[in-house]
Amino acid sequence: MPPAQNSDRLRSFVTAFAALLERKPSEAQILRDGGALLQQLVAIDDWLPAAYAQAQPERYQQYLLHADSAERFSIVSFVWGPGQATPIHDHTVWGLIGMLRGAEFAQAYKHTADGRLQVDGAELKLTPGTVEAVSPSVGDIHKVRNAFADSASISIHVYGANIGAVQRSVYTEDGASKTFISGYSNTHLPNIWDRSKELKTS
């Protein structure tokens, strides 16, 4: 596993993403320009602290890395243990998914006229550096699984809300739904704001 040492990458990403939202862009602009920022972040794997990259055998982990103080966006590392997968679910807000380590498959779904769910296109494979978008406007229902049965995978997600506090839904293929609020797997955030070491040496 690569060493986690460059917290400046995440700090710079947070700052740049907040600046993007300050311009009050359209959702399409957020997905385009924010997606480009996320692609830069996941292009180099030297910044995610080890504590937020740990798989657990019981289920995939959703580690909060940063929540904007106005809850305009949140950044989460999803850590998939071998063979782990989500149920079919939605998000209700825009989201960006960037693959950092390993690989995952995402299968989109859509509602049919009779209220059932059907597969919407081919299953998409995300590999390191790949970024994909979700939202109610571009497609919001999918199922995600680790591409590997013998190793962990990690993706970095950015959502247009404090996603751990958003009421969302999981679905069965017959269209039945159940609401849930995901919360987070961690109780402490990475400290990306302590710049004392670099300032002392500058």
For the chain, the domains span 7-182
Neighbours of 138 (CB within 10 A): 14
What percentage of the chain carries pLDDT values higher than 90?
91
Cβ–Cβ < 8 Å for 1, 53? yes
Please list, in sequence order, all residues whose beta carbon lies within 8 angstroms of the beta carbon of residue 131, skipping any fewer than 6 positions away: 35, 38, 39, 42, 96, 97, 98, 99
Which letter, b or e, does each residue of 31-48 get, where b requires 16 or more Cβ atoms within 10 Å of its Cβ?
beebbebbebbbeebebb
Tell the CATH topology of 7-182: Jelly Rolls (2.60.120)
Cα–Cα distance, 71 to 48 (Å, whole number): 22
Q: How many residues does the chain have?
A: 202
pLDDT band at residue 198 under the 50/70/90 scheme:
confident
**Average pLDDT score, the chain:** 94
Query: Rounded to an integer, what distance in angstroms lies between the CA atom of residue 139 and that of residue 25?
Result: 19
Say how many C-beta atoms besides its own lie within 10 A of residue 77's C-beta: 24
Worst-scoring range by mean pLDDT, 96-100, 115-119, 181-185? 115-119
Predicted confidence band of residue 23 (pLDDT cuts 50, 70, 90): very high
What's the confidence (pLDDT) of residue 5?
66
Model confidence band, residue 3 (pLDDT cutoffs 50, 70, 90) = very low
pTM above 0.75, yes or no: yes
- Please give the span between the terminal C-alpha atoms of the chain, in angstroms, as a whole number: 29
